[in-house]
Amino acid sequence: MVRVKFYPVKESIEGAVKAPPSKSYTHRVLFIALLADGESIVEDILISGDTKATINAVRKFGGKIKNNKKIIGVYELKSPPTLYCRGSGTTIRIASAIAALTKGPVLLYGDTTLNRRPMSPLISALGSLGARILSRNGKPPLAICGFQKPKSNSVRIDASISSQFISALLIIAPMIGLTIETYGRLKSTPYVDMTLKVMEAFGARYEREGYRFFRVHETGYKPTKFMIPGDFSSASFILAMGALKGKVRVEGLHVDDVQGDKFILKVLSDMGAKVRVTKDYVEVESSGILEGIEVDCGNTPDLVPVIAVLGACAKGITKIYNIEHLAFKESNRLESIRRNLKQLGVNVRVRKEEIIIKGCNKLKGARLHSFNDHRIAMAFTIAALVAEGPIEIQGFNRVSDSYPQFLTHLKSLGVKFEVIK
């Protein structure tokens, strides 16, 4: 397990990096291109630990990927006996829905972190359509035997745990014609918008009523060209560093995109950082001091680790709420954040759906754990910029799940660190 020791920055960080391609878009485009019979051209595919799981799934289902750019979809899907999804929740959830289109059986599983993540709402929904699914108490591994023809053209699904369940059903819907009704307290709705945007680009047609009702026509998908935009989720860590200690520019971000995590720009501005947006880049500069804020992250759970660390470095109280679904991520992020902030000497309280943080004048140097969660690892790197001593993070290898160039980008900005294997 890789450890990285980060050292406090005496002056400031400054420079420019290019945002990595969006992980969330990459998953969706690859799976939809698989279902489009023919050759699609996809520019700027992210190659990371999580997307490698999706690339493997596309190939196992019978698709071909050439030069990380040409995706050749198939009319008849194969039924791979086994499908290893690494640590990627998006991969296993969408792949489970696609497996239901095959004869099966298909055994889907992942690493220890993935095999703890809930799948019950999707299992129930696919079961109501005619798939036969065996699971371990509603969690992976899953054994799926698909339906030749769904026994219903409508389905209801609980959307309170993850929007990925809705996206999985939406992605297969043009192949069978499907009406989807959701219930429960919806979370992460911008990811549903992203799914629909990619579906439209590949020729799908649908009607919707907000996030509660979707009627998707049986159109199938048509091969197309698609450009993966820059990832606001990954860029948030770099932008936060600029807000805290210097001035950074991230190129390749488009604020008119549907990505929910562009919300980080408002958060940084509200906390007092200087934020400049152009059509080519986003620039964030420290104003010298950050102020605590109250922020609803129901639609942007991946920003919570970043905002929590900024709150620890800010003046006053930061309250992050509507985030009970963080318990079901790569780690229980509510607990991961609480434990690491405590190690840094921060006064923090965690309830079922909120984190309350009292800003700390001086963060302690400490040994922290990533809890096998890439976003926890990257978020607490930010704390090292202003800590009294070095911060060592164990399990840093998980960063490659979403942002393989992270350490390279930090080095270019002047961040000092030591990799310990």
Please give the positions annotated as active site. 302
Query: Which pair of structure tokens corresponds to residue 75?
Result: 């009319």
- Beta bridge mates, 38: 73
Q: Rounded to whole angstroms, how far apart are CA atoms 119 and 97?
A: 11
Q: Which residues contact 389 (CB under 8 A, 6 or more apart)?
A: 8, 364, 365
Q: Rounded to whole angstroms, how far apart are CA atoms 223 and 59?
A: 17
Q: Rounded to whole angstroms, how far apart are CA atoms 275 and 283?
A: 6
Sheet of strand 3-6, all strands in order from the earlier edge strand to the far edge: 366-369, 391-394, 3-6, 417-420
Do the beta carbons of residue 148 and residue 171 sit within 8 Å? Answer: no
Q: Which residues contact 354 (CB under 8 A, 6 or more apart)?
A: 319, 320, 321, 322, 323
Do the beta carbons of residue 346 and residue 314 sit within 8 Å? Answer: no
